[in-house]
């Protein structure tokens, strides 16, 4: 991963893939042109790397020149294209091949066609290393395309983000979500996860996602996913992981600008941990740590019985149900300790003490991530 100005980018296309694509293009163009000596025209600034590497692979005589246009601001294409350096030689009767680094909206290409309308060239062909079909809004033919890419901003190999990144020999793609701190808050029922999550989300500007709350919200509001979840719950069955993951995905997407998330109540199994990893990966992010509040069983039972008196939650009222939940927790979910330990992401924190002390202990872990 690299950072340019305020944004993070991940490796996307290797130098080797670029080299192969240019080789294919050079061979194909040379075959098509036969004995014609083409005039290759690079569009500056972005195309300087493409042109330089491409012409070294071109197996026959050719001429090379540049024009300079600019249409990009930050990470967005603009309609307003400036012609900074125009054509300097007579191209009458020539076969011209435009060499582009990337074709995005096609605005730059429209300008190129405008420039060549009065040049009396024999033929004008377009070759581009990268092409974003989803972004392209014109219908000029693209004669040679190296690599089609999704409509996401890239840098490297001549392409820049506000001036930086042109020198990179490979191509990087912008990360969908920028740098986030994602925590799994873990601990048996009554450990104080909910209480601590409230403090941590304020302190670190994180979004707290409690699967229990998400379920209750979706069911109460009768969302499609809520109704689906309810159909399992009503039958006394576990909600399939995919339904839960889809709900979490919706929560994560609702908060795309978040600095990170606190997951509470999920994952509970290895399969769920893997599903969560995949979900975060699809957002170009990851789980940074599992933080577990460690509290002795007897203290948990007392706390939950106390909570049951005021919360009205049926599962907090009965001691044998409480003990079951605690046992169930250790049987089923403590294996996650191994899962995250194996990735050096498990942090146990003493969950007995004042709320402030425990928040302090949790913060000490988070600050070191
Ligand atoms: P178009 O005019 O929208 O087709 O965009 C063409 C120009 O925008 C290119 O020559 C680049 O300078 C710039 N551009 C388009 N997409 C990207 C990108 O993903 N990264 C960096 N520059 C880009
Ligand atoms: Mg360009």
Domain end, chosen from 156, 174, 192, is at: 174
Same domain, yes or no, for 128 and 166? Answer: yes
CA dist., res. 295 & res. 350, Å (int): 7
Percent of the chain with pLDDT over 70: 95
Residue with tokens 């003490």: 353
325 has catalytic annotation: yes
Shared-domain flag, residues 87 and 191: no
Segment 261-285 mean pLDDT: 91
Ranking 160-169, 206-215, 225-234, 302-311 by mean pLDDT, the lowest is: 302-311
- Higher pLDDT, residue 318 or 132: 132
- Give the CATH number for residue 186: 3.40.50.300
- Among 89-93, 175-179, 292-296, the range scoring the smallest mean pLDDT is 175-179
pTM for the full predicted model: 0.69
Does 72 score more than 70 pLDDT? no
Residues 156 and 213 in one domain: no
Active site residue 307: yes
- Do 201 and 261 touch, CB atoms closer than 8 A? no
Which of 94, 193, 201, 303 is an active site residue?
193
d(CA 93, CA 28): 22
Exposure class string for 47-85: b at 16+ Cβ within 10 A, else e? bbbbbebbbeebeeebeeebbebbbbeeeebeeebeeee
Of the pLDDT bands very low, low, confident and very high (cuts 50, 70, 90), residue 78 is low
pLDDT of residue 62: 98
C-alpha of residue 108 to centroid of ligand 2, in Å? 7
**Tens digits of residue pLDDT in 125-180:** 999 999 999 999 999 999 999 999 999 999 999 999 999 999 999 999 998 776 78
Residues 239 and 194 in one domain: yes
Q: Which pLDDT score, from 0 to 100, does residue 73 have?
A: 61
Into how many domains does the chain fold? 2
- The whole-number average pLDDT for the span 234-248 is 89
What pLDDT sits at residue 129?
Answer: 98
Q: Find out whether 300 and 190 touch, Cβ atoms under 8 Å.
A: yes
CA distance 25 to 127: 8
Q: In terms of residue numbers, what domain contains 249?
A: 181-367
The bridge status of strand 2-4 relative to strand 7-13 is antiparallel
Q: What is the CATH number of the domain that holds 95?
A: 3.40.50.2020
Q: What is the per-residue pLDDT for 258? A: 85
Q: For a substitution probing ligand 1, which of 77, 78, 106, 173 has the most ligand atoms within 8 Å of its CB?
A: 77
The H-assigned helical ranges of the chain are 15-33, 48-57, 107-116, 193-204, 211-220, 224-234, 241-254, 270-282, 297-311, 319-328, 335-342, 355-368
Percentage of the chain with pLDDT > 90? 70
Say yes or no: 157 and 245 in one domain. Answer: no
- Pick the catalytic residue from 24, 166, 259, 325: 325
Same domain, yes or no, for 215 and 314?
yes
Is there a single domain that holds both residue 81 and residue 7? Answer: yes
Between CA 141 and CA 127 the distance in angstroms is 10
CB-defined site of ligand 1, < 6 Å: 46, 71-72, 77, 101-109, 153-155, 159
């Amino acid at each position: 991963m690299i950072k340019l100005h305020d944004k993070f980018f991940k490796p996307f296309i290797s130098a080797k893939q670029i080299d192969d694509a240019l080789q294919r293009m050079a061979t194909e163009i040379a075959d098509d042109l036969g004995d014609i000596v083409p005039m290759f025209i690079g569009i500056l600034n972005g195309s300087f790397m493409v042109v330089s590497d491409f012409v070294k692979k071109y197996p026959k005589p050719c001429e090379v020149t540049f024009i300079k246009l600019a249409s990009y601001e930050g990470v967005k294409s603009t309609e307003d294209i400036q012609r900074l350096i125009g054509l300097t030689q007579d191209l009458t009767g020539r076969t011209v091949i435009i060499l582009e680094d990337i074709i995005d909206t096609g605005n730059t290409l429209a300008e190129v066609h405008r420039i060549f309308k009065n040049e009396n060239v024999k033929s004008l062909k377009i070759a581009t290393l990268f092409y974003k079909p989803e972004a392209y809004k014109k219908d000029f033919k693209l004669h040679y395309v190296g690599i089609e890419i999704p409509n996401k901003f890239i840098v490297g190999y001549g392409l820049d983000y506000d001036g930086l990144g042109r020198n990179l020999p490979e191509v990087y793609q912008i990360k969908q979500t920028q740098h986030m701190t994602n925590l799994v808050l873990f601990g048996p029922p009554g450990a104080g996860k909910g209480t601590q999550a409230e403090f941590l989300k304020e302190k670190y500007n994180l979004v707290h996602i409690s699967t229990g709350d998400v379920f209750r919200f979706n069911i109460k509001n009768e969302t499609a996913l809520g109704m689906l979840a309810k159909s399992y719950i009503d039958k006394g069955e576990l909600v399939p992981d995919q339904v839960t993951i889809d709900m979490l995905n919706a929560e994560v997407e609702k908060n795309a600008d978040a600095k990170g998330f606190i997951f509470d109540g999920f994952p509970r199994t290895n399969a769920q941990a893997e599903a969560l990893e995949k979900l975060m990966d699809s957002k170009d992010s990851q789980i940074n740590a599992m933080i577990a509040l460690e509290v002795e069983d007897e203290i948990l039972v007392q706390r939950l019985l106390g909570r049951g008196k005021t919360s009205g939650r049926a599962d907090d009222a009965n001691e044998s149900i409480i003990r079951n939940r605690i046992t169930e927790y250790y049987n089923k979910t403590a294996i996650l300790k191994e899962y995250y330990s194996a990735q050096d992401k498990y942090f146990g924190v003493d969950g007995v003490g004042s709320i402030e002390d425990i928040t302090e202990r949790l913060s000490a872990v988070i600050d070191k991530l």
